[in-house]
Amino acid sequence: MVSSQPAIIVHGGAGRGSGERREARLAGCGEAALVGWQVVQAGGQALDAVEAAVATLEDDPLFNAGTGSSLNRDGEVEMDAAVMSGTLQAGAVAAVSGIRNPIRLARKVLEDGRHVLLAGPGAREFARRAGISPVPPETLVTPAQRDRWEESHGTVGCVAVDRNGRIAAGTSTGGTPGKLPGRVGDSPLIGCGTYANPAGAASCTGEGEAIIKVLLAKTSVDLMDSGAGPAEAARRAVALLARQTSGQAGVILADRSGAVGYAHNAEEMPVCYIVEGEEPVTAS
Ligand code: GLY
């Protein structure tokens, strides 16, 4: 197994500017990055770091994932999540309700290994068998979502590299506000919102329908595989999406050496990254 510099990068969703909530979301990203960083810094696995960081963001009602998820047309929460490792192991869930941390359920799907993506009631039944207790769906609905915030805010995600050169990505979302029941976005679709292979890993945020059409996560990792660094790969992938779809989106990336990068064409995308020997960096 190769040895690497550990690194972690998280995003809190691409969207419109959010004034005073911008600082709070940056702080939330910082806290989640630190939770994941503690895993990889201590020699733990990239997959565990991603799961821990994304679960932290799911539990923060400021973000559109887990508690605080957007409501669909019928006022219900339906969430998507995926996790993938650089060894091509992947697990994802789509349109699930009554699960506090969809990223933990996605990890169970990955570990089970029979399938990559489970949806709806089947995913809930799998959760029960995997020992994940359901929660009353209304506990995931925050007053702010009931009031339908005007500002748009997004998906959460994380990419991590551990000391053994293992790399992983995870993404979790409540999807788009007012979406049709049953709509599935890019986040749980491998190659679209989430991807990892030996060259690197990616987690995306933004307009799922645009992200799906250009396979933004796989496109970004392919650019790294062709020699681009993570920052350049992110910039070129987002430019391609903007050119081909007119959509707004963002992506965070890392390669297995522990280099990280990100880009977006939305008003803002809170990000925090930590690399060995340096202070955490937050930006939007
Ligand atoms: N990017 C999240 C979604 O469109 O569902």
Query: Are residues 40 and 163 in contact, defined by beta-carbon separation less than 8 angstroms?
Result: yes
Q: Which atom of ligand 1 is nearest to the CA of 185?
A: 5
pTM assigned to the model: 0.96
Question: What pLDDT is recorded for position 150?
Answer: 44
Output the average pLDDT for the chain. Answer: 94
pLDDT band per the 50, 70, 90 thresholds, residue 154: confident
Residues of the chain with pLDDT > 70, as a percent, come to: 95
Residues forming the active site: 155
Question: What pLDDT is recorded for position 213?
Answer: 98
Q: In terms of residues, how long is the chain?
A: 284
Query: Rounded to whole angstroms, how far apart are CA atoms 246 and 248?
Result: 7
Task: Please give the structure tokens belonging to residue 175.
Answer: 């999807």
- Among candidates 8, 200, 197, which has minimal Cα distance to 90? 197
Q: Report CA(225)–ligand 1 centroid distance (Å).
A: 25
Which residues surround ligand 1 with Cβ inside 6 Å?
155, 173, 175-176, 185-187, 193, 205-208
Q: Report CA(176)–ligand 1 centroid distance (Å).
A: 6
Question: What pLDDT is recorded for position 148?
Answer: 59
For residues 96-115, give the mean pLDDT: 98
Q: Report CA(13)–ligand 1 centroid distance (Å).
A: 9
Residues of the chain with pLDDT > 90, as a percent, come to: 88
Is pLDDT at 251 greater than 50 in this prediction? Answer: yes
Task: Please give the structure tokens belonging to residue 77.
Answer: 């929460």
More confident residue, 278 or 144: 278
- The H or E element that residue 58 is part of is helix 46-58
